[in-house]
Amino acid sequence: MPLTPARTMPGVMELLPLDQIAFQRLLDTIRANFERFGFLPIETPVMEYADVLLTKQGGETERQVYFVQSTGALEQGGKPELALRFDLTVPLARYVAEHEHELAFPFRRYQIQRVYRGERAQRGRFREFYQCDIDVIGKDQLSVRYDAEMPAVIHSVFEELNIGPFTIWLNNRKLMRGFFEGLGIADAEQQALVLREVDKLDKRGADYVRDTLMGEGFGLSAEAVARILDFVQIRSRGHGDAIARLDALGRGSATFDAGVAELRQVLELVRAFGVPETHYAINLSIARGLDYYTGTVYETTLNEHPQIGSICSGGRYDNLAANYTKSHLPGVGISIGATRLFWQLREAGLLPAAQSTVKALVTQMDEANLPQYLDLAGQLRRAGIATEVVLEAGKLARQFKYADRAGIRFVLVLGPDELARGTVTVKDLRKQEQFEVARAELVKTLRVELEQAEAMPA
Amino acid sequence: MPLTPARTMPGVMELLPLDQIAFQRLLDTIRANFERFGFLPIETPVMEYADVLLTKQGGETERQVYFVQSTGALEQGGKPELALRFDLTVPLARYVAEHEHELAFPFRRYQIQRVYRGERAQRGRFREFYQCDIDVIGKDQLSVRYDAEMPAVIHSVFEELNIGPFTIWLNNRKLMRGFFEGLGIADAEQQALVLREVDKLDKRGADYVRDTLMGEGFGLSAEAVARILDFVQIRSRGHGDAIARLDALGRGSATFDAGVAELRQVLELVRAFGVPETHYAINLSIARGLDYYTGTVYETTLNEHPQIGSICSGGRYDNLAANYTKSHLPGVGISIGATRLFWQLREAGLLPAAQSTVKALVTQMDEANLPQYLDLAGQLRRAGIATEVVLEAGKLARQFKYADRAGIRFVLVLGPDELARGTVTVKDLRKQEQFEVARAELVKTLRVELEQAEAMPA
């Protein structure tokens, strides 16, 4: 029979084991921090009914959906009934609406699952990727205080990930909307178009943006454009500076004033949550999804790697599940695109060196002593030290080489001398040291070394 | 706009948060034990090319496949290029063939992901479910010793899951094939048909099976049928009994003798791996997938819940990836169907009472003291105790009720008295006790209680 070429579709991230371990550590750290802040896990099916998934979505999203059909449905023809989720927000809305009467509100959920988008194949674009989301959903109302909890979680996650200094940027959609209304740009779509031009500041420069906004399509006055360019370039450094810059904005419409007051309150509480003032700031250019967010919005960037863009974003929305329930469900949430983040960190050389989950390899010197090797491995495993035993006979040098390639740190040798003396010879491949230790002391010795390694920055 | 009914497709297991936590604990325990034995994680994309996925599959599997098409592909018509994986074995074969030169052999991988089958909707049947697999793949050869490692992992997993006594049943396909060949039933398909009748022993009784096998379709002699019925009813109790029963089988064909020798060797090593002899036994009726397994085969049953059937099965196969590579890749593996297992354990009342991942709730007595509440929560979170803070003002009684419903054990009160004294009042909802403790002692006190709770059987 001819061979089928073994291959995967483009746009997926399939990893070799050591990279998978590093990726798993990223997900585990995110999850541990979500749990630490009292978020509860949910998982939803990868497929939803197409009519549920696509209720409110516009063209772009719908064009990127993957549809699913069983063999039977395919044979019958007709439109597919099912589709793969393209984010975790629509499934959350469906979940909350479906289980509304079984949930306690405010409902604090985390969800770490893969989502699917039929993106054009391109380097760094993924068709299958993990999202790690938290949201707090209120019934009828949700205090703006929850908006301050999100930066606290973001801070906790990225501190522990230890990928360098980062800044959590905050803005407020009401403030932004009020500002544009004050300039006579009341229409949300028109605001979006202006912001899209403003986004080109870094790439095209101020002159280009100014010319465009004063040009035919927009027709804004020189003064209005100057005010816009001043406004969107506002960034704070430190807590006091953030408050001072908000104060300096002065008064405006009711919407504007409400936005300023909200942002001020959120900043004060972010500080009370213990986030260091070096790690949060206001940035009045941040807009996020204009049709979706209604209050606080967040982005997070690595100070030393701005080209990576936002690594964690989100915001406050008015009503989660208007398509599925008459209940009013305001919420606030953030999302980390873990697949893209991992890929980018690896590209930027920010990932620690690969370490196996396997910590010890018990070598095989003499197959007659296999029971002793297995016994030794059992002792280590019961102590929580992940251990592999060489079961296939082979040269000792090859066994050491295997451990080295596999990223296993400790190679254990139980030769006739060690068996006679009740000891084990340990070769530490990381430190390039070798020592002999009494069997009774082995677990303690390895644990001390492993705990030191975990405490050390990678 | 009319509402879209919020609903999921039948055949998926979507859980409320407390159940999701219990399910997550199941997956985490399985993963921890896989890692403890030195297996390395991989994840593969949920979609594979249809031609890769369906190379060797016969009718039944292919009829249950879910096909996937992007919007663009759907519009163009034609056969779908992609399909959802229906197990983790075919993706493993594709993965090993694709990355063969980047992997170290024997390749020890674990994989915990969801798979998809277009089953008919039926209680306890799932269209989306988790499989938790480990496999060891050799290049050219793989010692039968690896076959003995599988029961050691199974034992470790189910001991820790603490769901009651269980037995790991072993058989060997060569032994079985040799036995049937000795009776003149040399054809594999004919053997499978006989075994299918034998499977009806429990339901239909020995007389029915005997009549069928001696009847028109099979035409076996009374003596042959008697020997088959004796053979398939062989079960051992304890290690010595297992060896004795193998000895009592006597000699047969080369295949038969090889099977007996392998099974004996595996039993000896299972013991050397430290699996108690109460937990493994031979069972010569176990066949598993006849077209796939070639040596050792395993099933695992709960002693007190035989109706649940096998909760962990697998075996030895000759060549993993013959469809994708010319390399000869023998392997051995097991699989736990975690979704079905969880569902069955819950139905049988074997799951411990739901406990939240959130351990402490900091109540809000006076919103002016919110910074103190947040500070207290930060202290607990840094110590690894998952903590939620009530951010929405409300009556204290309602906050206690929320904690109770949410399964949160400790409710913390920081009233004016506690703040003055530098203490916290702790209500332990599990023990129904209340006590006051100094802030400096709080973390230590809660940790002691939480560690005791984890050590206790649920």
pLDDT tens sequence across B290-305 = 678 999 999 999 999 9
Is any Cβ of chain B less than 8 angstroms from the Cβ of A269?
A: yes
Q: What's the Cα-to-Cα distance from A368 to each of A97, A391, B191, rounded to whole Å?
A: 63, 12, 38
Q: What's the Cα-to-Cα distance from A3 to each of A9, A10, A377, rounded to whole Å?
A: 18, 21, 40
Is any Cβ of chain B less than 8 angstroms from the Cβ of A206?
A: no
Residue A323: its chain B contacts at CB < 8 A?
1, 3-4
Report the alpha-carbon distance of residue A390 to residue A397 in Å, rounded: 12
Name, of A272-276, A400-404, B391-395, the range with top average pLDDT: A272-276
Q: How does the average pLDDT of chain A come out, rounded?
A: 93
**Residue of chain A whose alpha carbon sits nearest to that of B59:** A71
Is the N-terminal amide bond of B352 cis, ω within 30° of 0? Answer: no
pLDDT band at B58 (very low <50, low <70, confident <90, very high): low
Average pLDDT over residues A123-149: 96
Q: What is the model's pLDDT at position B458?
A: 41
Q: Which of residues 100-129 of B touch A (CB under 8 A)?
A: 102-104, 106, 108-109, 114, 116, 118, 128
ipTM over 0.85: yes
pLDDT in tens, B79-114: 899 999 999 999 999 999 999 999 999 999 999 999
Name the more confident of B10 and B454. B10
Average pLDDT over residues A402-422: 94
Is the N-terminal amide bond of A80 cis, ω within 30° of 0? Answer: no
Percent of chain A clearing pLDDT 90 (strictly above):
82
Evaluate if residue B145 carries a pLDDT over 50: yes
Report the alpha-carbon distance of residue B448 to residue B454 in Å, rounded: 10
Nearest to B52 among A6, A16, A51 (CB): A6
State the alpha helices, DSSP H only, in B37-144: 50-53, 59-63, 71-76, 89-98
**Amino acid identity of B185?**
I
Q: Which of residues 66-95 of A touch B (CB under 8 A)?
A: 66-72, 74, 80, 82, 84, 93-95
Please give the interface size between A and B, counted as residue pairs whose CB atoms are below 8 Å apart. 287
Tell me if B405 and A104 make a contact (CB, 8 A cut-off): yes
Q: What is the model's pLDDT at position A147?
A: 98
Average pLDDT over residues A263-280: 98
Tell me if A69 and B71 make a contact (CB, 8 A cut-off): no
Degrees to nearest 5, angle at CA B127 with B126 and B128: 90
Average pLDDT over residues A33-57: 92
pTM of the model: 0.95
Tell me if A387 and B324 make a contact (CB, 8 A cut-off): no
Is any Cβ of chain B less than 8 angstroms from the Cβ of A37?
A: yes
Q: What is the model's pLDDT at position A458?
A: 42
pLDDT in tens, A291-326: 789 999 999 999 999 999 999 999 999 999 999 999
Best of B67, B102, B156, B390 to disrupt the A interface (most A CBs within 10 Å) is B67
pLDDT band at B78 (very low <50, low <70, confident <90, very high): confident
Tell me if B35 and A114 make a contact (CB, 8 A cut-off): no
Report the alpha-carbon distance of residue B274 to residue A374 in Å, rounded: 8
Residue A371: its chain B contacts at CB < 8 A?
272
Q: With residue B296 as reference, give the H or E element that holds it.
A: strand B293-302
Q: What is the model's pLDDT at position A56?
A: 60
pLDDT in tens, A344-384: 999 999 888 778 999 999 999 999 999 999 999 999 999 99
Is any Cβ of chain A less than 8 angstroms from the Cβ of B160?
A: no
